[in-house]
Amino acid sequence: MTGEPVDAAVLTALKELVTATATAQKTIAEAEKARADADSVRAATEDTRRKAQTAADAAAEDLETKRLGNEKTRDELGNARIDKAVAQYSAAIPNIAALPKNTVTFNEGKVLRNGELVARALQQATQDVAEAVSRKLEGKSDPKVFVTAETRLLTAVANHRQLCNEAKQLTQHLKTTTDKATDEIGTTGVKSRFGVPGADRVVAGVVGAALTQAAALLEVDVAVTTSDSELPADTVHAAVIHELLGKAPGLTVRHQWLQVPAFPSPPAAGEGGEAGAGTLMAALDSLIDADLAAAEAAAALDVAIDDLGDPAADLAKAQKSGDETGALSAQGRQDKLSKLKLIKAKLGADVGKAKAFVDRINTASSTTGQSPLSTAASIEPIFEPAGWHVLIVGDGKAESVQVLVKRRLLAPRLQTTTTVGLDFYLLKEGNVVAAGHKYSSSAYRTTITKEDGLWTAMPL
């Protein structure tokens, strides 16, 4: 301020401005209050409307619940009337659904007529095998077939060769040692006395076992185990051989185990060599002869040793008395006695080896039940010069299925089906000339009644 006087008009204007401002602020405050009151009224109105709507919704829901309850009650009453009517009408109608199904019970779960089914299927399968084999034999003069279940022919042939070679080597050792014994005995001036006491027991001890085993080759012991899923090889072989003989007249068939071995005949008087030389049985015959000769030589050695007395004592006595001639004679007998005892020990060792060999080839296997000798003898025919076709057929497999359909008013229907399968190999001189897997099926069906059941064979 400058201290100059203010115009009254200005002051009045300022006062009016202040008053107007205060009035405007009061008006604004009153307007704000009016708006707040309006909002409060509006909120209260909205709350009242929401509560009224909620009450209306609850009343409507309760009404709907009552309506649904009334409808359920009406439905239940209707269903009750229907059920009562059904019960009243059903009382006069028989309950067919309650009748038990017609059925049939099989003991131990066996398939009916399984034996016939297997036989029919096996016949067809073996006919197929025989047909395949006979085609390979067409045009052959004097055809021969050796039937076996042995798939490891290489092992069987090797064992046969081994037994033959062992028998020949043992025979040669026995002969060589026996010849030495005979030569030494001949120089003693003592005559060999065969058949002296004890010699027969030595012969029987070694030879008896071999002869017994050879005789046992004539025995046929076939163990057949049947089951629902396996056909023994012997059963399959019988069917195959039957079909082969029918398809190939003049065919020679030999079975590995069901046969009578052809033992070699002794050579005729004045003939050299041995009949059937090279075969296992011929080799065993030679071994038996050599063992008999060795037994006789052993008995003769005992006699010669006894006849030499006690040359050591005689030598000591002659030397003590100064008898040079007697000492020389005793010394010679002492040297001879040493040689004879050495030969006797060697001969005893060879005889022991022969006996061990015979015992080993006679011992039956715990798994197959066959001895090495019988196994080797069983494949002897394939070594014949004429040559054989070797037909390998193992166990057959049979699978049977039985289907039983149970019905309430009609008789049960039954169907049984069996499938048989088998493998075969045909060999000629070590080569496979034919092979295959043959199978066939057979089936029956029937309707089983309490009076009877007519079976019908089904073509497959």
pLDDT band at 34 (very low <50, low <70, confident <90, very high): confident
98 domain-assigned: no
Mean pLDDT of the region 426-438: 87
| Tally of CA atoms within 13 A in the half-sphere of 50 that contains its CB | 6
User: Model's pTM, two decimal places?
Assistant: 0.51
What tokens were used for 432? 């496979």
Q: How many other β-carbons are positioned within 10 Å of the β-carbon of residue 370?
A: 15
Mean pLDDT of the region 314-336: 81
CA distance 164 to 156: 12
2 domain-assigned: no
pLDDT band at 429 (very low <50, low <70, confident <90, very high): confident
- Share the mean pLDDT of the chain: 75
40 domain-assigned: yes
Judged against a pLDDT cut of 60, whether residue 221 lies above it is answered with no
Torsion over CA: 245, 250, 255, 261 (sign): positive
Q: Do residue 374 and residue 319 come from a single domain?
A: yes
Mean pLDDT of the region 413-417: 81
Number of domains making up the chain: 3
pLDDT in tens, 114-128: 788 888 888 889 899
Q: Do residue 240 and residue 111 come from a single domain?
A: yes
Q: Do residue 406 and residue 439 come from a single domain?
A: yes
pLDDT band at 456 (very low <50, low <70, confident <90, very high): confident
| Residue of 167, 190, 125 whose CA lies nearest to 278 | 167
Judged by average pLDDT, the poorest of 5-9, 397-401, 423-427 is 5-9
CA distance 266 to 159: 25
349, 369, 384 — which closes off a domain?
384
Pick the residue with more confidence: 409 or 267? 409
Judged against a pLDDT cut of 50, whether residue 180 lies above it is answered with yes
Judged against a pLDDT cut of 80, whether residue 64 lies above it is answered with yes
Judged against a pLDDT cut of 80, whether residue 136 lies above it is answered with yes
Q: Do residue 351 and residue 273 come from a single domain?
A: yes
The reported pLDDT for the residue numbered 185 is: 74
Q: Do residue 344 and residue 390 come from a single domain?
A: no
Cα 350–Cα 355–Cα 356 angle in degrees, nearest 5 = 95
pLDDT in tens, 88-109: 656 655 555 555 555 555 444 5
pLDDT in tens, 151-172: 777 777 778 778 888 888 888 8
Q: Do residue 132 and residue 279 come from a single domain?
A: no
What tokens were used for 204? 């029987």
What tokens were used for 217? 């080759």
Q: Do residue 21 and residue 64 come from a single domain?
A: yes
The reported pLDDT for the residue numbered 421 is: 92
CA distance 423 to 228: 18
**Mutual angle of helices 324-362 and 199-216, in 10-degree steps:** 20
357 domain-assigned: yes
247 domain-assigned: yes
| Residue of 349, 307, 299 whose CA lies nearest to 177 | 349
The reported pLDDT for the residue numbered 86 is: 65
The reported pLDDT for the residue numbered 195 is: 39
Pick the residue with more confidence: 277 or 96? 96
pLDDT band at 5 (very low <50, low <70, confident <90, very high): low
Judged against a pLDDT cut of 60, whether residue 236 lies above it is answered with yes
Q: Do residue 276 and residue 342 come from a single domain?
A: yes
Q: Which of 27-31, 258-262, 385-389 has the highest mean pLDDT?
A: 27-31
Long-range CB pairs of 274-278, under 8 A, 24+ apart, other chains included:
278/164, 278/383
186 domain-assigned: yes
What tokens were used for 295? 């037994």
Q: Do residue 186 and residue 331 come from a single domain?
A: yes
| Tally of CA atoms within 13 A in the half-sphere of 109 that contains its CB | 3
The reported pLDDT for the residue numbered 4 is: 57
For the chain, the residue count is 460
86 domain-assigned: yes
Q: Which residues span the domain enclosing 439? A: 103-142+227-256+386-460
What tokens were used for 330? 């005793």
Q: Do residue 241 and residue 281 come from a single domain?
A: no
The reported pLDDT for the residue numbered 373 is: 79
Question: Percentage of residues in the chain with pLDDT exceeding 70?
Answer: 76
349: CB partners within 8 A, 6+ apart:
none
pLDDT band at 424 (very low <50, low <70, confident <90, very high): very high
397: CB partners within 8 A, 6+ apart:
229, 230, 231, 420, 421, 422
**Mutual angle of helices 324-362 and 311-321, in 10-degree steps:** 170
384, 419, 440 — which closes off a domain?
384
270: CB partners within 8 A, 6+ apart:
none
Q: Do residue 206 and residue 269 come from a single domain?
A: yes
399: CB partners within 8 A, 6+ apart:
229, 418, 419
- CA distances (Å), origin 362, targets 40, 166, 373, 398: 124, 14, 6, 36
The reported pLDDT for the residue numbered 268 is: 41
The reported pLDDT for the residue numbered 214 is: 43
- CA distances (Å), origin 414, targets 110, 120, 121, 440: 13, 19, 19, 21
Q: Do residue 303 and residue 429 come from a single domain?
A: no
147 domain-assigned: no
CA quadruple 375, 377, 383, 384: dihedral, nearest 10: -150
351, 369, 384 — which closes off a domain?
384
What tokens were used for 325? 């001639």
